[in-house]
Structure 1
Amino acid sequence: MNWLLLLEQVLNGFQLGILLFLLAAGLTLVFGIMDLVNLAHGSLYMMGAYFCATFTGWTDSFLLGALLAIPATFILGILVEVIALRNLYARDHLDQVLATFGLILFFNEFVRLVWGPIGLDIPLPAFLNSTVEVIPGVPYPTYRVAIILIGFFVAGLLYAIVSKTRMGMLIRAGASNREMIGALGINIKLLFTLVFGLGAALAALAGLMAGPILSVEIGMGDGILILTLVVIVIGGIGSIKGAFIAAIIVGLIDTVGRSFLPEILKLMVAEDSAATAAPAISSMLIYILMALVLAVRPQGLFPPKGVGR
C-alpha cells in the first residue's frame, strides 16, 4: 500500500468532511429546532460561493471577499426565512419539501440572471496557493490545510456557543421542546430567524471555501445536499457533535474509498470494470452505513439529550 497516498486521501477526506459538517450543522439545527425540511440549504451554499466570487473581484482580496460573503448570506437567510419559510412551520413536511424545492429553482434562475450561465473562479492569494509539508517530505496544499483548521475552529466555536451560552441553551431547549420555550415567554419567531441565519452563514462558509477548489456554478449545492442529509441522519437530527463525527466518517469513506477501491477490485475483476464500479460502490458504502445506523439506532449516533429516550 502507498502510505503517502493514504495520508493524502485521509486529509482530503477530512477536508470534505469539514465542508459537509459546515453544511450539516446549520441544516440539523434548522431541522431539529424548527422541524423544517429545507431543501434550499444547498442554494445558500451556492449563494455564499457566488457572493465570495463577486466580493473578491470587487476588492481584489479573497479574505475580504470571504468576510463580506458570510454576513451577506446571513442577511439573505433571514430574508428567506421571513418572506418564504415562516408560514411553513405549521405545514406538513411534504409542503415544506415542495416549497423549498421551488426555492432551489428560484435561486438557480436568479443566479443565471445576475451572474450568467458560465461559472466563476475564485482566485486564491499567493500564501494560500502553495504547499506545506504535513510531515517531512510530504507536501500538501496549504489551502486544504487551512480548510481543515478553520473547520475544526468553527466546530469548537459552535460547540461552545451551543453548550455554554444563553442562546445555545435556548437552541438546545428548542430542539427538545419548542412549545415549552414558547410558553415560557421566549420569542420563538426571533429564535427561529437567528438559527436560520446562522445556518445560512455556515452554508456560505462551506460554499466560499469550496469555491476555489470546485467550480462556482449554478446548482453546485444540489449534489452535496444529499450527502449533507445523510450526515444528519447518521449523526442525529439536532446534534452538532453528531453532525461533526458523521461528516468526518462520510468524508473519509467517500474519499478513501474512491482512491483505494479500484486497486482492491482489480484483484477480482478487469481493470476497466474496477475503475467504473469503484466510485459507485464507494457511494453505496455511505448509504449502507446510513441504513445500518437507522436499523440499529434510528435516532442517530449522537442524538440531542432527550431524543430517543
Structure 2
Amino acid sequence: MALENKNGPAKEDAIAMNGPRESPPAGQRLSIYTDEPLTQLARFSFDWAEVLCDPSHGCMPYHRTWSMIRLLESKGAKPAGGGFFGRELAAVAQEGRCRILLSGAADTGLAAMVLGQTRPVGIEPEFVLIDRCETTVEQNRLFARSAGFALETHRADIRGCDCAPVQAVVAHSVLNFFDRSARQQVVNSWARSLKPGGRLLLSQRLLSEKDQPRGPRGSAEIGRRLSTIEKAAVAAHFPAAAVAELKTAVEALWGEPLHEDRTTYSDLADMLKQSNLTIVGSEQHHTGKSVSPLAAADSVQTIPRYEIVAVRM
C-alpha cells in the first residue's frame, strides 16, 4: 500500500473521486453492512489533513495521524463502550430507526462503533455529525457512502450549532477538548438538541478528588510504540519514504503535551443539572487499555472511564 500523492489532484477532485459530499438517503431495505474501510480512510486523512484542517484550530497533527495509529497500532480497534451505546440506543429507537447526534469525532471510529451495534439488531441509525474540522467531516461522508447510512453533517462548533431534534446524543471523550469555561456551553447544546425524553449517552474519563493526572509520555514508551507502527506499516507494504513520513508525523503528535484540565464527576453532574438533564444511569470502569492516539497506551491509566445516561425531561 502506498500513501496518496499530495501533489496530485486538487482537494475537490480527490474528494469527488472518493464519493459525494453527502450520503444518499437510506434505502428501503435495512442493510447489515457495518465494515469501516479504515485503510482507505486512514490514507485519506493522512494525505489531506494538511489541506483540510484549519491551521488556527491546531488539530492537524491529531487528525492526520489518528486513523493511521488506530489502523497500525490498535489493529482497527473502535472506541470503548460499544455495548453501552448499543443497549441505550436500542432503548430510544422507534420503529427500527434512531436519529443520533455524534458530538465531535476523531475520525470514523465512533460512527463505525455505533453502526456495528445498531444494524445487526435491526436498528438503522440516522447520524447527525457536528465537528468543526473538515478532515473529520469528509472522512465520515466517505464512510457513509461506503456503508450506505444516512448522514447529515454540520462543520461547526458544537456550542453554537442547532440541528433538528434527535433521540440521542453520543459523546465520547470530548469534554476535555474544551476549556473549562466552555464546557457548560457544550452540555447546553446537547440538551438543546434532544427531543423531550431523549438521552445523552456519554463515555468520558472523569477525575475524582483523589485521582492523579497522568504522567507525560516517556521517550522509551514513544520509541516502543513507533517501532510497533513501523513494523505494521512495513508489513502493509508502505514504501520506505511513507514509513519515514508517518513516523515523523506520529512522533510530532506524541511530543505534544497531554491536556490535563480534566472534568470531575461532580463538575459534570452540576453541568447536566444546569441544562435540565437528569442522570438516570452511571457506571464506572477502570481499565489500563486505550486506543486514543493521545493516551500513554503502555502506562497504567488511573483515571476511570464513566458511562453516563442523562435524560432530557
> TM-score interval w.r.t. the shorter chain?
under 0.3
* Higher strand proportion (structure 1 or 2): 2
